[in-house]
Amino acid sequence: MSNPSDGGRGGLAFDPASGDYDYSGNTYNEDERVSTLPTAEEERRMMLKEDGYNEDEDEGMVFHRDDDGGGDGKEGGARPDQKYRERRHDRVIREGMSYKDAMVAVNLDRERAELQKELDGASITAASGGGRKDKEGESVAVVSRWDEDSQSSGPRRRKRWDETPMLASSGSTAASDATPLVSSQKWDATPVINSSKWDATPLVSSASSSTSDANRKRSRWDSTPAPNATPSISSTPMLTPSTSTATAKPNTIEHEMESRNRPWTDAALDAILPSEGYTILPPPSSYMPLRTPGRKLLSAPTPYGSRSQAGFTMEIPPEEREGQTLQDIREAYGVPIVPTPDEVAEGSASTALPYIKPEDMQYFGRLMTEDDVNLSKEEAKERQIMTLLLKIKSGTPPQRKTAMRQITDKAVTFGAGPLFNQILPLLMSPALEDQERHLLVKVIDRILYKLEDLVRPYVHHILAVIEPLLIDEDYYARVEGREIISNLSKAAGLSTMISTMRPDIDNPDEYVRNTTSRAFAVVASALGVNNLLPFLKAVCRSRKSWQARHTGIKIVQQIAVLMGCAVLPYLRELVEIISGGLTDEQPKCRMIAALTVAALAEASHPYGIESFDSVIRSLWKGALEHHGKGLAAFLKAIGFVIPLMEESYASHYTRLAMPILIREFHSPDEEMKRIVLKVVKQCVGTSGVEPDYIQKEILPEFFRNFWIRRMALDRRNYKQVIETTEELANKVGCSEILTRIVDDLKDDSEPYRRMVMETITKVLENLGSGDVDERLEERLIDGILYAFQEQAVDASTSGAYGGEDQVMLIGFGTVVNALGERCKPYLKQIAGTIKWRLNNKAASVRMQASDLIGRIAVVMKACGEEQLMGHLGVVLYEYLGEEYPDVLGSILGALRAVVNVIGMTKMTPPIRDLLPRLTPILRNRHEKVQENCIDLVGRIADRGAEFVSAKEWMRICFELLELLKAHKKAIRRAAVSTFGYIAKAIGPQDVLHTLLNNLKVQDRQMRVCTTVAIAIVAETCGPFTVLPALMNEYRVPELNIQNGVLKALSFMFEYIGEMGKDYIYAVTPLLEDALMDRDAVHRQTSCAAVKHLSLGVARLGCEDALIHLLNYVWPNIFEESPHVINATCDAIEGLMVALGPSLILQYTIQGLYHPARKVREIYWKIYNMLYIYSADAMVLGFPMIEDEKENVYARTTLELFI
Amino acid sequence: MSNPGGAPIHKDQLKAKYIGTGDADMSKFEWVTNMHRDTFASHIGHYDHLSYYAVATNESVGRTKKEFLEKMLRPCGRPNVGEKEEGYDKLING
C-alpha cells in the first residue's frame, strides 16, 4: 500500500507507533483458549509461547507490522488478517431489541461462552463463530442476511451464463444448484424482444436510441459542430489568406448565425419549458411572417468548403433528430435534467437501466423481472430504491447524479428501513469495488443528513456493517468508515449511540470489541470527548467483566490515535480514567493501559507532562515487575513519556531505564528488540542525556547486539536500527559512529551492506563530514565504491523492493556531496567506475551509472574537473541511442546535469550538435524520457538558444505540440514554458502560428495547454506581438477556436496583470461580443477573462471600459449551469475590486426585492458576497429609505456636517 | 458565492459568520436594521469618523460611541406586527 499522507496529522497514521493501522497486527487475534481469568500457569504459558505474541490481540499495539503488509510469513498459507477481517460476516444484528434485551442477551452470551470454554477445557474447538452459534438458540436472534449471502455465493468467479445468479429473495440454500424458479422461463426461452436485456448492450428501451446515445456521449467542448468541420483551411486565416478563405468565410459565418439563431420549434420549446404555468399564445392578428422568396434563397444552406467529405451537411436540430427523447432534447439545449413529476411517478425503472454485473444479480436481479404491474406499494418503493441504487452504483455520471439527488430528496418518504435494508447488504458484498463503496458511502452520508433521528432504530444495523471498515487495510475505506460513523452519531445523538454500542463493549468476541472501541473513538471525536468522559470512566471501572475495562481503555487509546493533539484539553481526565488499568489484575488490561499511556503521550507531545504525573510511578513499577510482553508495553509507554519531561527528569529516568533496556538488548524476541530500539531512540533524543554517558554505557552493547547481519534481514528491524543509530549519531557525532561501521561496507552480506550504507547516508545528511578525518575519508570512499560495484544486479532492476534499489545510489551521491572538494583525488577513479558501468550489459546498471552522474555533477564542477565532465558529456552523448527508455531517461537527466553545471558555451559536444540529436527523442512516448528530454531542451532554449538555427527550433515546436498531450503535468508544464523560451529566441510569429493552428484539434486538454502556451508567449514577447493575430483568430466561426482564443486571453490577462491597462480598450469589443454569445462556454470563458482583466487594471483608471463590460457580464447572473454562474460571480468579484463595492451594490439593490423568488435569490447571493468582502465600504452606498409609521429608516448620522 | 473550495456555504453557516448577510426571504425591516447596525459599526470602527461626529454633535467621543452602541440595539424602532427580530431577541434574552 502506498502511503497517502493523512491530511492534518501528516504521516502519523502510518507511523508504526500510532496504532492507526494496527489492523494488520491486530488481526492476529485473541487466543480463544485464554479463559477470562487465566490461572497463573496459563498466563505464564501464554507469555512464553513462542507464537503467543502473534495470537494475542494486543500484539498489534505493541509491535507494529510494516506497511507493506507482507507479514513475516510465520503463518504461511492463509493470511490470518484476511481471516480476521472476514469475521465481519459473523456479526449478529440485533433487530428490534430493546436496550435491556440486548444487554441480557450479551450477558447470557458471555456467560455461555465462558461456560463453554470451561467445558471444552484445552480443546480448541471454539472457533470464531462461537458467539453466533449460541445465538441461534434464542428466538430473538436473527440470522443475518450476510451470512446467507456469503454462503450461497460461494463460487464467486462463476461465468454469467454457466450459472444463474440467485435472486436475493429466494433465500433457501438448496436453490443454488437449482435454476431459480422466479425467472426461469426467461433464461431458457428464446428471448422475446423486450426481455432480451441480457445480451443487449446497456439496456436501452427503444431500438433507435443507440443513435441518440452516441449523440449524447459527445460533449460540446470536444467536438466541433458539424457544419464547421469544413473550414478546410488548415492555417490561420490571417497568416495565409488563401482564396478559399475569402469565399468560404462569409458562408461559414452566415451558416453559424443561421444555425444558432434558427427559429424555435414547438418540440424544442415543449422540451425546454415546464409544461405547467405556460400557455401558448396565438400570434397577434397583425403579424405577417416574412415570405419574400429572395430572402429565402439567400438563407438557403449552400454547399461550401469543397473539401468536406459529405458534400454538404446541415446540422439537424436536436429536436428533429430521430428517436430523441425529451431528456435528450433537454440535454442538447443544456437544460438541467429534472424529471417532471409524472416521469418520476411512472417509475424511471423502465428506462435505461445500467448494466447489472453478474455479482450484483443477487441484489438487483429483481429489476429484470417484468411484473411491475401488480406490485404492492411497498414493493414498488423497494423497486424504486433498487433502481436508484443501481444507477448510483453502476450508472453513467449523469445517471448517478440524478439518482443521487432523487434518493436524497426522497429519503424521508422512502424511510430509513427500506433504504438501509438495501444499501447495507450492498456494502457488505465481497465483490464491491472501491469506487462503488465510495459512492454508497456518499449515499449513506446524504440520507443521514435527511433522516436525522429517524435513523435511530437502524443504528446498530448500520454500525455492524460500517465498523469493519474501520479496520480495513485500505486507508480510504477507513476514512470513509469514520465519516459515516461520525455523521451517524450526529444524526442519532449521543445517548442512542451509547445505548446501541454499550452491549458490544463486553462482547465475548474480540473482533466485536475491537471494532466497537474504534467506533466509539469516532463518536467521541464527532460529539466531543467531554461528553463521553463520564461513560468512559464508568466503563473503565467496571467490576463485572475485564472485557469491558479492556475495551474502555482501548477506546481512550483510539481517541488518542484519532484526535492527536486535540486530546490535550481532556488529557488529565483521560489519563486518570485509565490509570487504574495499569495495576489491573488482568494482564491484558495492564498492557492495553500501558499502550494507551504511550498513545496519549505521543498524541500530546511535546506538552502535557503534568497530566502524566499520576501514572509515572505505576509505569515505573510495572517496568520493574513485569517481564516479556508486559514489560515491552510498559517500556513503550516510558519511551513516549520521557520526551515530554524536563531535562533533568528525562536524564534521571533515562539513567534508571537504561539498565533494563540494556538487559533487554539480549532478548531473543524480535518484537522486544524493536521496542527497545525505539525506546533507546526516544531516551537518547532528550536533551538531558550526555554524549559521554552514551559513549560509555550504550554504544558498546548497542553495536554488539544490533549491528549484526541478522538484523538486516527483517525489514522492520532494519529500519529501527537505522533510526536509532541516526539518533545516537546526533548525540555522539558523526565520526564516532562511522568508524564503527564503515568497514562493514565491505561485508559479504548485501542486505547488511545496504543497512550500513543507509545509516551512513542519514548520518552524513544530518551532520555533514566536518569531523571525518583523512583516514576515515579514504575508508569511506573505498567502502562506497566497493558496495556500489558489488550490489546485486537484480536488486536494482526490480522495483519490488521499493526504494531499496536506490539505497546505494543515494548513499554514493550523499557521501560525495558531503565530502565536497575533498573528493577531488578520488574523482578519476569514480568516473572510471561510472564509465565502466555505462557499458554494462544490464540495463539497470547503466541506468544507475547515469543517475549517479546527475547526482555528483555539482561536486565535479566544484573540484574543477571540467575536462572530465566534458569527457563524460561526450560519452553520454554517444549513448543517446540507448534502447531501454528508463536508461535513456537517466542518460538525458545526466546530460542535463552536466549542461547545467558547465554552461552552454563550454559544453562538449557543442549545443548545435546536441540539440538536433534530441529532436527525434522528443517523439519518444515514455514518460521518463519525455520529462528529461523536455527539461534539457527547455534549458537549452532558455540559456543557449542562439547556438541553434531558427529552423531547428521550429521543428522542435512541432514536436512540442505532441507533448502537450502528456499525462504527466510536469511534462505539459515544461513544454508550455519551453514555447515561451523558443518564442523569445526566434520571435513569436512562427511559434504563434503553430499554436493557433493547434486550437483546432479535438482533444480538450491539448487545446487548454495550447491556450496556456499562447498566453505565455504573449507574456514573454509582449502582448502586442500576439494580440492582433489572436483576436483575428476569433473571427473563425468555430466554437473551439473562439473559446480557445477567449481562454488564451483569460490566461494572458492573468499573467500580464497591470500591463492589461494598455490592451483593455482593444479587447473590449471582442469580450462584448463573447459575453452576448448564445453559447454558454463563450460567456463563461469571457467572464473569466473579465475577472483577470479587471483585477489587473484595478486602480489604473480604466473604469469606463470596466463598467461597460460589467453591463454585459451582469445578465449572466441568471445562468443555471454551475460553471457559468461561478465564472460570472468571479467576474463580478473582480469588477468589485476594480470598480468599488458601492457601484456593484447599486446594481444589486435593483433586484433584492424583485417579485420573483429566483431573481431575489441570486441578487441576495451577490449582496452577501459584497457584504463579506467589504461590508464597511457598503455603508456609503446603501440607499436612503423612507420612514414607515413608527419605524425610522433614515440614517441621520450621515447627514451631519461641520 | 464562490469560496475557495468551490462548495456553496450553507445559509445558516453564512449567517452565523456574517450576521449582516441576507436571503430571499428577508423583510425590509430586517434589512434596514442590518444596514443601520453596519453603519454604526463602521462609525465606531473608524476613530476619525467617530471624532467627526463627536465634534458635529458637540459631545465627547466616548459619549458619542456609547450613544451609537445603544442605538445599534434597536436602530429602527419596533418590528412590524407579526415580524420577529431575531437579533433583538438574542440581545434581550442574553
Closest to A1190 (Cβ–Cβ): which among B18, B56, B77?
B77
Q: What is the pLDDT of residues A570-615, one digit of tens each?
A: 999 999 999 999 999 999 999 999 999 999 999 998 899 999 999 9
Percentage of chain B beyond pLDDT 70 is 74
Tell me which of A1052 and B90 has the higher pLDDT: A1052
* φ, ψ at A93 (rounded to 5°): -105, 125
pLDDT for A325: 60
Question: CB-based contact (8 Å) between B13 and chain A?
Answer: no
How far is CA A1146 from each of CA A265, A756, A1164, A1165, rounded to the nearest angstrom? 39, 73, 13, 14
Q: Do A1179 and B39 touch (CB under 8 A)?
A: yes
Q: How is residue A93 annotated by DSSP?
A: -
Instruction: Please list, in sequence order, all residues whose beta carbon lies within 8 angstroms of the beta carbon of residue A1101, skipping any fewer than 6 positions away.
Output: A1061
Q: Do A1191 and B76 touch (CB under 8 A)?
A: yes
pLDDT for A316: 58
Q: Do B52 and A1202 touch (CB under 8 A)?
A: yes
DSSP states of A1139-1158: H-HHHHHHHHHTTTT-SSHH
Q: Is A958 helix (H, G, I), strand (E, B) or coil?
A: helix
Q: Which amino acid is at A343?
A: E
Q: The C-alpha cell of A1021 is what?
A: 514577447
Whether the Cβ atoms of residue A354 and residue A396 lie closer than 8 Å to each other: yes
Q: What is the pLDDT of residues A376-424, one digit of tens each?
A: 888 888 888 998 999 998 888 888 988 998 998 888 899 888 999 899 8
Question: CB-based contact (8 Å) between B3 and chain A?
Answer: no
Q: Which amino acid is at A553?
A: I
Q: Residues 1179 to 1198 of A: which have CB under 8 A from any B CB? A: 1179, 1182, 1185, 1190-1193, 1195, 1197-1198
Q: Which of chain B's residues have a Cβ under 8 Å away from the Cβ of A1164?
A: 22-24, 26
Mutation target among A1172, A1173, A1180, A1184 for the B interface, most CBs of B within 10 A:
A1172
Where do the H-state alpha helices sit in A863-910?
Answer: 866-878, 885-906
pLDDT for A368: 75
A1191: β partners? A1188
* φ, ψ at A1191 (rounded to 5°): -85, 125
Instruction: Please list, in sequence order, all residues whose beta carbon lies within 8 angstroms of the beta carbon of residue A303, skipping any fewer than 6 positions away.
Output: A311, A312
pLDDT for A430: 82
Q: How far is Cα A1040 from Cα A250, in angstroms, rounded to an integer?
A: 18
- Chain B residue nearest residue A1172, CA to CA: B18
pLDDT for A322: 57
Given the cut 0.90, state whether the ipTM is greater than it. Answer: no
A1188: β partners? A1191
Q: Is A1191 helix (H, G, I), strand (E, B) or coil?
A: strand
How many domains would you assign to chain B? 1
Q: How far is Cα A668 from Cα A897, in angstroms, rounded to an integer?
A: 49
Could you say which residues of chain A have pLDDT below 70?
A: 1-82, 85, 88-97, 121-260, 289-352, 370-373, 793-805
Whether the Cβ atoms of residue A23 and residue A79 lie closer than 8 Å to each other: no
Mutation target among B30, B38, B65, B69 for the A interface, most CBs of A within 10 A:
B38
Whether the Cβ atoms of residue A346 and residue A417 lie closer than 8 Å to each other: no
* Cα angle for residues A784, A790, A791 (degrees, 5° grid): 90
Q: How far is Cα A1005 from Cα A993, in angstroms, rounded to an integer?
A: 19
Domain that holds residue B63: 43-74
Contacts 24+ apart (CB under 8 A), A912-916: A912/A947, A912/A948, A913/A877, A914/A877, A914/A940, A915/A940, A915/A947, A915/A948, A915/A952, A915/A956, A916/A948, A916/A952
Does residue B12 surpass a pLDDT of 60? Answer: yes
Whether the Cβ atoms of residue A367 and residue A355 lie closer than 8 Å to each other: no
Q: Which amino acid is at A1130?
A: D
Question: CB-based contact (8 Å) between A1202 and chain B?
Answer: yes
A619, A621, A625, A628: CA torsion to nearest 10: 10
Q: Which amino acid is at A89?
A: H
Instruction: Please list, in sequence order, all residues whose beta carbon lies within 8 angstroms of the beta carbon of residue A696, skipping any fewer than 6 positions away.
Output: none
Whether the Cβ atoms of residue B65 and residue B50 lie closer than 8 Å to each other: yes
* φ, ψ at A1188 (rounded to 5°): -130, 125
Q: How far is Cα A407 from Cα A385, in angstroms, rounded to an integer?
A: 7
Q: The C-alpha cell of A1004 is what?
A: 480538450
Q: Which of A332, A81, A83, A373 is nearest to A215 (CA)?
A: A332
A769, A770, A775, A780: CA torsion to nearest 10: 0
- Chain A residue nearest residue B10, CA to CA: A1165
Mutation target among A1190, A1195, A1196 for the B interface, most CBs of B within 10 A:
A1195
Q: The C-alpha cell of A1174 is what?
A: 467589504
**Domain spans of chain A?**
7-152, 253-273+309-329, 540-622
Q: Do B52 and A1160 touch (CB under 8 A)?
A: no
Q: What is the pLDDT of residues A413-443, one digit of tens each?
A: 998 889 998 998 888 888 888 888 889 988 9
Q: How far is Cα A616 from Cα A620, in angstroms, rounded to an integer?
A: 6
Q: b/e map of A832-867 (b: 16 or more CB within 10 Å)?
A: ebbeebbeeeebbbbbbbbbbbbbbbbbbbebebee
